[in-house]
Amino acid sequence: MSGRQFVLLSLNGISFGALLFLLSSGFTLIFGLMRIVNLAHGSFYLLGGYVGLTLMQGGQSFWVAMIGGALAIAILGFVVERGLLLRVRGRTMPEVLLTVGLSLIFADLALARWGGDPILLDRPSQFAGTVELSGVTYPEFRLLVLGLGILLAALMWILQSRTRIGAIIRAGVDDREMVSALGINVNAVFTGVFVFGALLAGMTGVIGGVFLSLYPGADGEILNFALVVVILGGLGDLRGAIVGSLLVGLIDSFGRSLTPSLSYFLLFAPMALILIFRPRGLFGRATVD
């Protein structure tokens, strides 16, 4: 492998990893802390992207589209959480299955509204060019995604270590009833977390629309990645999400290049292995479940 290729593959892996982190940080929050395997997270991503598309078609900039996509999905998340998930709160399987049902509906409605053509969103004009990095041509936008990933990681780190929220949510998973008997509005906290996760998914959808394009089926594909990230890293762990994202990004990038014929297994084989030898992922803690 040439040096140039190595640099390229690494950059690709890392920037793709950053995109995955943007998505899976919200996923890991919901999945890890609330124990909701939100299989509609991919739909949130795709719908966020489509909302961004509509905004951009209406002449708005990428940035407005990104914020709009995020907010729209936050609202959707609120409705889903309050209207549906709240009714089955605390029952793991109904929660998972409900989100499966929702993902079917969302996918079909998105198809009805936005059609099936794959659509690549325009890059923000400020980051439309390419840069030369040690002899390699590289798109600026990917570096932007990397930056956003780092920013979000820092933000979440502060959020997690400076507030009681994390502990409250984990306590809520252990024994929701008891949390409320301590005077904490556990439903509000859960809704907040869910909405925040949805917001991140919606935002990532718009970014992903530039990075990967939007099309029916993108929801499932990206969800697979998020699942693998969270499982590799360990549930509900921020470090896990960071390391998992990078790892998946790099495995994907180098794996496709080095062993293209195994690319179908690239994602799932390491995941199965990790689960067998470290059933709780790389950073998974011994939690009660």
Partner 1 sequence: SAPGGGDDEGGGEEGPIKVGVIVPTTGVVAAAGTDMLNGWNLYWEINGNEVAGRTIETIHEDNAGDPTTTLTKARKLVEQDGAAVIVGTLLANTALALAEYLDPLDDVIGLNPAGSADDLSQRGVVDNYVRAGGWQSSSPTHVAGDWAYEQGYRKVITLCQDYAFGHENCGGFTNTFTDRGGEIVQQLWAPLGTPDYSSYLSDIDPASADAAFVLTVGADSGRFVKQWEDFGLKDNLPLIGGETTLEQSLLRAMGDEAVGLQSFGHYAEGREDSATQEFVDEYVDAYDQLPSYYSASTYTAAQWFAETLEAEDGDMSDVPAFLETLKGYQLDNSPFGPMKLDEHGGTIATMYLREVAKDEEGRLYNQVVEEYPEVSQFWNYDPQAFLEQPVYTREYLGEDWPESCDQFASDCPLEGE
Partner 2 sequence: MNTLRLVKWASLAAVVGLTVALPYLVSSFYVNMATQMLFFGLFALSINLIAGYGGMVTLGQAGVLGIAGYGLGIFYTSYAVPLGVSALLAIISTILVAAFFGLLLVRASGVYFLMITLAQGMVVWGVAQRLTTLTGGDNGLRGIARPPFAVEYWSYYYFSLAVVAFCVFLIARIVRSPFGLSLKGVREAETRMAPLGYDVKRIKLFAFTISGTFAGVAGLLLAMYNNFFSPPSVYVKASAEGLLMSILGGVGTITGAFVGSGVFVFVTNYVSGYMERWPTLLGLIFVLTILFTPDGVVGAWQRLVWAPLLRRYGAADEAELIEVGVGGGGLLSDRDLKGSKSAIEAGSAAPSEEPSEQVEETRAGS
Partner 3 sequence: MLTVSDLHSGYGLSEVLNGVTLEVPDGKLVALLGRNGMGKTSLCRSIMGLDPPAIRSGTINYNGTKVTNMPPFKIARLGLGYVPQGRHIFGSLTVVENLAMAHRSPAGSSQGEDWDLERVWEMFPRLAERKANVGAQLSGGEQQMLAIGRALMTNPGVLIMDEPSEGLAPVLVDQLGERMQDLKRSSLSMLLVEQNYSLALKLADILYVMENGRVVFAGSPEELDTSEDVKRRYLGVGV
Give the binding site for partner 2 (CB under 8 A).
35, 37, 84, 87-88, 90-94, 96-98, 100-105, 107-109, 112, 175, 177-178, 220, 224, 227, 231, 235, 261, 264-265, 267-269, 271-272, 275-280, 286-289
Please report the DSSP string for 53-97 in residue order. HHHHHTT--HHHHHHHHHHHHHHHHHHIIIIIGGGGTT-HHHHHH
Residue 168 touches which of partner 1, partner 3, partner 2, none (CB < 5 to 8 A by kind)? partner 3
Helix (H), strand (E), coil (C) string for 119-145: ECCCCCHHHCCEEEECCEEEEHHHHHH
Residue 270 within binding range of partner 1, rule CB under 8 A:
no
Residue 57 touches which of partner 1, partner 3, partner 2, none (CB < 5 to 8 A by kind)? none
Query: In the bound complex, what is the minimum distance in angstroms from residue 61's beta carbon to partner 1?
Result: 16
Residue 102 touches which of partner 1, partner 3, partner 2, none (CB < 5 to 8 A by kind)? partner 2
Cα distance between residue 277 and residue 52, in whole Å = 41
SS3 content of the chain, % helix, strand, coil (to 5): 75, 5, 20
Residue 216 touches which of partner 3, partner 1, partner 2, none (CB < 5 to 8 A by kind)? partner 1
Q: Which of residues 201-230 bind partner 1 (CB under 8 A)?
A: 211-213, 215-218, 221-222, 225
Of 59, 83, 93, 117, the one binding partner 1 (CB under 8 A) is: 117
Residue 269 touches which of partner 1, partner 3, partner 2, none (CB < 5 to 8 A by kind)? partner 2
Q: Is 59 exposed, middle or buried (0-12, 13-18, 19+ CB in 10 A)?
A: exposed
Cα distance between residue 97 and residue 80, in whole Å = 13
Place of tokens 């270590």: 161
